[in-house]
Amino acid sequence: MDAENLHYFEQAPVAKAVAHFAVPMMLGMSMSVIYSILNAYFLGTLGNTVILTALALTLPLFAVIMALGNLIGMGSGTFISRLMGEKKNDDVKHVSSFAFYSSLMIGLIVMAVGLPLINPIVHGLGATPDSFGFTKDYVTVMLIGSPFVVLCFTLENIVRSEGAAIASMTGMILSVVVNIILDALVIFVFHWGVIGVASATVISNLVASVFYIFHMGYKSPFLTVSFKWFKVTKDILSNVFKIGVPVFVMSIFMGAMSLVFNHFLVEYGDQAVAAYGVSSRLMQFPEFILMGLCEGVVPLIAFSFTANKLRMKHTIGFTIKTIAALAVLFGVIVYLTSDQLMGLFTNDPQLIEMGSYILHVTFLSLFISGITALFTGIFQATAQGTAAFIMSIIQGITLIPVLYIANRTNGFHGVVWSLVIAEVVSFLVGAIMLYALRTKLQPDLESLVQ
């Protein structure tokens, strides 16, 4: 595995290297989306719109827990890839051990702080009297299981950072398969409803974490979970948090944006919230495919940044072309089948109409959101902490005032279109910063000779 991963990092043709790193990530993330869609479908069979509303309201909480995993995972992962490019293998072991134990500790803190504050958290998520009980059940289970969820997101990033894309994908797919099986059991056999669905999510993350721990302990030539390699130094902390904090802030803003968006949609009834919840899950499929592509190439970009900048430049160019092709393909499919897709989850004509409309509008910015994700990945991979931080907050900063103004002037339509406007602003800011940093990212003379 050592020689094979290094081959894709250093010598394989760019298209083949991108495929090696990105395709497993894209497949793994698409499986996660399939689970998310099936999850909504399973709950939709219960015939209670309030349950779908509760599921939509808990998205911000899951975004926060995911953010904590990415705080350590993405920060440590990009650092590990750069260290591998510099052949500093002992430092890689120190960073991977640090990531493992620190993510576990963060998850335990979330559980300890969150459970006593459960009622304020549920109210803060925007639960109505009808959806409060369902939302509280889901939140309680997720807080209890947060150490395993944080750990899973961290380890997936760490394993991918060493070039073990297949192992990273295997863990993601394992989590999804376990989750789907458990969902079917708790809903159709045991009739546990929301509590069962939340428990299935936690258990599936635990199973994936065990798989990643086994890989790091017994299969990986670079990574370790051994406490003897655990080390906290200024260099580790600065490099991990320089990238990890912007990733964390970005995820928090995503959760906050979802929370704010839900609060605006509540004005238009539970059907509007449910329509957004279902349509956003459908949107996740193309979005996560593009995100998988962009996140999948981050280790390759990070490694090449320290080893061969010309290869990095070619990797970025090829990725942009791939994003464009995928955006066109998915756009055509959705515009032709949006009503049918919504009809899989509900037979309510108004909910189908609202959800289809949201899909049409948000798909307009699919290519832009893909390129924006690539910009963010480039800044993370090349340790451009300030640029990564700006990218993490710009969409949220833009969305909130745009939402307020658009809601006042155009009602429901304005709320939906505000997502596209915020995405365009993020794209423009990222393009400007990438142009400003072009000197740092240019291939050096040694790379050009190669």
Q: What is the pLDDT of residues 74-107, one digit of tens each?
A: 889 889 988 888 888 889 999 999 999 999 999 9
Between 375 and 442, where is the model more confident? 375
Residue 351 confidence (pLDDT):
80
Confidence category of residue 213, pLDDT binned at 50, 70, 90: very high
Phi and psi, residue 125, nearest 5°: -75, -10
- How many domains are contained in the chain? 1
Q: From 65, 196, 56, 77, select the one nearest 135 (Cα to Cα).
A: 56
Contacts 24+ apart (CB under 8 A), 19-24: 20/165, 21/160, 21/163, 21/165, 21/296, 21/297, 21/299, 21/300, 22/165, 22/292, 22/293, 22/296, 22/297, 22/319, 22/322, 23/165, 23/296, 24/165, 24/166, 24/168, 24/169, 24/296
Banded pLDDT at 393 (limits 50, 70, 90)? confident
Of the listed ranges 121-135, 181-195, 262-276, 328-342, the one predicted with least confidence: 262-276
Distance linking the first and last C-alpha atoms of the chain: 25
446 belongs to a structural domain? no
Query: Are the C-beta atoms of 162 and 84 separated by less than 8 Å?
Result: yes
Of the candidates 314, 309, 290, which has an alpha carbon nearest to the alpha carbon of residue 376? Answer: 290
Among 128, 47, 273, smallest CA distance to 136 is for 128
pLDDT in tens, 330-363: 888 888 888 788 877 777 777 888 888 888 888 8
Q: Which residue has the tokens 């827990």?
A: 65
23: confidence class by pLDDT, cuts 50, 70, 90:
confident
Residue 449 in any domain: the answer is no
- What is the pLDDT at residue 141? 93
Distance CA 305, CA 307 (A): 6
Q: 201 vs 347, which has greater pLDDT?
A: 201
pLDDT of residue 206: 95
Please say if the pLDDT value at position 194 is more than 90: no
Provide the whole-model pTM. Answer: 0.74
Q: What is the pLDDT of residue 115?
A: 93
Judge whether 447 lies within some domain. Answer: no
pLDDT at 449 over 60: no
* pLDDT value of residue 24: 83
Q: What range does the domain containing 108 cover?
A: 2-438
Q: How many CB atoms lie within 10 A of CB 119?
A: 12
What totals of helices (H) and strands (E) does the chain contain, helices first? Answer: 19, 0
In-domain check, residue 443: no
Per-residue confidence band for 114, with pLDDT thresholds at 50, 70 and 90 = very high
pLDDT at 78: 86
Q: Count of CB atoms within 10 A of residue 115's CB? A: 14
CB 371 within 8 A of CB 427: yes
- Max mean pLDDT among 45-54, 136-145, 284-293, 410-419 falls in 136-145
Within a domain: 450: no
444, part of any domain: no
- The per-residue pLDDT for 323 is 92
Is residue 45, in this structure, part of any structural domain at all?
yes
Interaxial angle between packed helices 298-307 and 146-161, expressed in degrees from 0 to 180 and rounded to the nearest 10: 40
pLDDT tops 80 at residue 36: no
- Percent pLDDT > 70 in the chain is 95
More confident residue, 438 or 373: 373
Tell me if 243 is assigned to some domain.
Answer: yes
| Rounded Cα–Cα distance for residues 316 and 311 (Å) | 9
Reading the block at residue 386, the tokens are 């300030």
Predicted confidence band at 4 (pLDDT cuts at 50, 70, 90)? low
Range among 4-8, 157-161, 268-272 with highest mean pLDDT value: 157-161
Q: Give the residue, 368 or 277, on which the prediction is more confident.
A: 368
Closest CA to 351 of 277, 300, 414: 277
As a whole number of angstroms, the distance between CA 335 and CA 366 comes to 13
